[in-house]
Amino acid sequence: MKFFADTAEIDDIKELVATGLLDGVTTNPSLIAKSGRDFMEVTKEICGLTSGPVSAEVVALDHATMLKEAEVLRKIADNVCIKVPLTIDGLKTCKALTGEGTMVNVTLCFSANQALLAAKAGATFVSPFVGRHDDNGVNGMELIRDIRTIYDNYLFDTEILVASVRHATHVLESALIGADVMTAPPAVIKGLANHVLTDKGLEQFMKDWAKTGQKIL
Tell me the catalytic residues: 83
Q: Which is nearer to ligand E4P, 153 or 161 (CB)?
A: 161
Q: Which is nearer to ligand E4P, 6 or 89 (CB)?
A: 6
Q: Which is nearer to ligand E4P, 188 or 204 (CB)?
A: 188
| Residue 184, phi then psi, degrees to nearest 5 | -145, 160
Output the CA torsion sign for 28, 86, 103, 125: positive
Q: Are 105 and 55 in contact (CB under 8 A)?
A: yes
CB of 166 to ligand E4P, least distance (A): 6
| Residue 124, phi then psi, degrees to nearest 5 | -75, -45
CB of 208 to ligand E4P, least distance (A): 42
CB-count burial class (<10 Å; 0-12, 13-18, 19+) for 160: buried
Question: Rounded to the nearest 5 degrees, what angle is found at the Cα of 113, between the Cα atoms of 87 and 157?
Answer: 90
Q: Are 89 and 63 in contact (CB under 8 A)?
A: yes
3-class state of residue 137 by DSSP: coil
Single out the residue of 172, 173, 129, 120 nearest to residue 150, CA to CA: 120
CB-count burial class (<10 Å; 0-12, 13-18, 19+) for 7: buried
CB of 63 to ligand E4P, least distance (A): 21
Q: Which is nearer to ligand E4P, 28 or 93 (CB)?
A: 28
Judged by the rule CB under 6 A, the positions of this chain that interact with ligand E4P are 6, 26, 28, 107, 127, 129, 131-132, 163-164, 183
Q: Which is nearer to ligand E4P, 175 or 204 (CB)?
A: 175
Count the Cβ atoms, other than its own, within 10 Å of residue 154.
Answer: 9
CB of 184 to ligand E4P, least distance (A): 8
CB of 53 to ligand E4P, least distance (A): 11
